[in-house]
Amino acid sequence: MSKELKITIDGCEMTAQEGRTILEVARENGVHIPTLCYHPRLRNAGSCRVCVVEVEGARALMPACATPVDRDGMVVNTRNERVLAARRMTVELLLASGNHDCPNCASNGHCELQDLAYELEIEHPRFPIQPPDLPFDNSNPMIVRDLNKCVLCGRCVRGCQEVQVNQVIQFGFRGPHTKIVTGGDTDYADSPCVFCGECVQLCPVGAISEKQRMPYGKAFEEKIVRSVCTYCGTGCVVDFHIINGRIVRVTGNEDAEVNRGSLCVKGRFGYDFIHHPDRLTMPLIREGDSFREASWDEALSLVAERLGRIKEEDGPEALAGFSSARCTNEENYLFMKFMRGTLGTQNVDHCARL
Ligand code: FES
């Protein structure tokens, strides 16, 4: 069992379990330390240096996300001038090394670099802006990648390797030529990517984003509605991002126990059916070779009457019902009860049964 230690952060004494990081202890106690490469679902990389803090007795500033609390009496300063100057320098260098043109970026309002610049009161970096001039990857219908906005935090790399275990996204090349590559530096479309979109979800800037949302507005215009994915019975919790009554993108809910932010390709990108003009929005009753629209009351009465008649004339074993993996467990249970209890048949099955 780990020891309890007493440490001081910004003049306040607090208790910390030995081995917890300074960032974790600070957040548990309501102290804000900004981060960029850190993500709670990923292994700590400690690479961006945005979260640096001063640990008294240490010569260099330490990354709070990767520095464990390891002794009683540790004294940490998270907001003095030395710390803020270092964070400003880091963020200014990031801003200068890419094409971070917020007004023209679809992630405007949903960008951790933009938030950092605001928090650190950086209007414009002191350094000349020199984006790497890398080609735009528009090779597939779901994800667009603009590496001129990439901050090399590696969250996409770790998400692909640690969460999805797909190993498609890597750091490629070296030194100033370092960039994120897929499948040995090919387009997404030619890589072994399965398009789960984990990289899109984890990207803190606008370097990897959803293509389908592009024509509909910026991130700051979005309203979020929580729901459950209907593609299978797993029940992943999704957040629908809505602009003007239209779902413009879908993200996995990071707090949901069932999926912790992850989604499959269908759950994340397969939502265009919702607004498709061919989508059925009311019941249809067949009349000869064609269908006519009907009210729910009329349709349900017709189904009840026909099922009752078949049961009466040919017995309950003449009836069978198939339910769907798109329904919830509760709906499938009710369907089974209806078939067995109400109609009296054991002929009930499910499309996902092996
Ligand atoms: Fe700690 Fe990047 S967030 S080093």
Cα-based distances in Å from 89 to 38, 86, 97, 112, 124: 18, 5, 12, 16, 12
The pLDDT score that the predictor gives to residue 191 is 92
Q: Which atom from ligand 1 is nearest to the alpha carbon of 66?
A: 1
For ligand 1, say whether the CB of 76 is within 6 Å of any of its atoms. no
One-character DSSP codes across 238-265:
EEEEEETTEEEEEEE-TT-TTTTT---H
- Label the pairing between strands 75-77 and 4-9: parallel
For ligand 1, say whether the CB of 63 is within 6 Å of any of its atoms. yes
Q: Where in the chain is the domain with CATH 2.20.25.90?
A: 226-279
Superfamily of domain 226-279: ADC-like domains (2.20.25.90)
The first and second tokens of residue 233, run together, are 């019975």
How far apart are alpha carbons 31 and 35 in whole angstroms? Answer: 13
The first and second tokens of residue 221, run together, are 């215009």
Per-residue pLDDT reduced to its tens digit, 296-313: 999 999 999 999 999 999
Instruction: Please answer whether residues 171 and 152 qualify as being in contact, where contact means their C-beta atoms are separated by less than 8 angstroms.
Output: yes
How far apart are alpha carbons 139 and 146 in whole angstroms? Answer: 12
Closest alpha carbon to 154 in 254, 45, 285: 45
One-character DSSP codes across 70-96:
-STT-EEESSSHHHHHHHHHHHHHHHH
pLDDT at 215 over 90: no
The pLDDT score that the predictor gives to residue 28 is 96
Instruction: Please answer whether residues 299 and 281 qualify as being in contact, where contact means their C-beta atoms are separated by less than 8 angstroms.
Output: no
For ligand 1, say whether the CB of 116 is within 6 Å of any of its atoms. no
The band of 2, judged by pLDDT with boundaries at 50, 70 and 90, is confident
Q: Which atom from ligand 1 is nearest to the alpha carbon of 64?
A: 1
Sign, CA torsion 107/113/118/119: positive
Q: Quick one: average pLDDT of 201-217?
A: 91
Residue 52 phi/psi, 5-degree rounding, is: -60, 145
The first and second tokens of residue 93, run together, are 């260098």
End-to-end CA distance of the chain: 45
- Residue in this structure with the two tokens 């459950």, named with its chain if needed: 228
Domain spanning 4-79: which CATH class is it, in words? alpha beta
**Long-range residue pairs from 112-117, CB within 8 A, at least 24 positions apart, any chain:** 112/35, 112/36, 112/204, 112/205, 113/36, 113/151, 113/204, 113/205, 114/205, 115/34, 116/34, 116/36, 116/50, 116/87, 116/91, 117/91
Q: Which residues pair with 348 in a beta bridge?
A: 321
pLDDT at 214 over 90: no
For ligand 1, say whether the CB of 62 is within 6 Å of any of its atoms. no
- Residue in this structure with the two tokens 């100033």, named with its chain if needed: 176
Segments in the chain forming alpha helices (H)? 22-28, 81-96, 112-119, 155-158, 198-202, 265-269, 296-314, 329-337
| Identity of the residue numbered 243 | I
Q: Give CA 339 to chain center in angstroms.
A: 39
Q: Which atom from ligand 1 is nearest to the alpha carbon of 38?
A: 3
Q: Which among 36, 41, 53 is the best mutation to test ligand 1's pocket, defined by most ligand atoms within 8 Å of the CB? A: 36
**Listed range (113-122, 211-220, 273-282, 298-307) with the worst mean pLDDT:** 211-220
For ligand 1, say whether the CB of 47 is within 6 Å of any of its atoms. yes
Q: Where in the chain is the domain with CATH 3.40.50.740?
A: 284-350
Measured in Å, residue 90 CA sits from the centre of ligand 1 at 11
- In the chain, % helix, strand, coil (3-state, to 5) comes to 30, 20, 50
The pLDDT score that the predictor gives to residue 216 is 83
- Residue in this structure with the two tokens 């759950």, named with its chain if needed: 267
Instruction: Please answer whether residues 237 and 201 qualify as being in contact, where contact means their C-beta atoms are separated by less than 8 angstroms.
Output: no
Q: What is the pTM of this model?
A: 0.87
For ligand 1, say whether the CB of 36 is within 6 Å of any of its atoms. yes
Round the average pLDDT of the chain to a whole number and report it: 94
Q: Which among 43, 50, 205 is the best mutation to test ligand 1's pocket, defined by most ligand atoms within 8 Å of the CB? A: 50
Per-residue pLDDT reduced to its tens digit, 35-65: 999 999 999 999 999 999 999 999 999 999 9
Residue of the nearest CA to atom 4 in ligand 1?
Answer: 46
Q: Where in the chain is the domain with CATH 3.10.20.740?
A: 4-79
Tally of CB atoms within 10 A around 274: 12
The pLDDT score that the predictor gives to residue 327 is 81
Q: Quick one: average pLDDT of 243-269?
A: 96
pLDDT at 235 over 90: no
pLDDT at 152 over 80: yes
The pLDDT score that the predictor gives to residue 13 is 97
For ligand 1, say whether the CB of 151 is within 6 Å of any of its atoms. no
**CATH of region 284-350:** 3.40.50.740
The pLDDT score that the predictor gives to residue 328 is 80
The pLDDT score that the predictor gives to residue 354 is 55
How far apart are alpha carbons 17 and 271 in whole angstroms? Answer: 44
For ligand 1, say whether the CB of 34 is within 6 Å of any of its atoms. no
Name the percent of the chain lying above pLDDT 90: 85
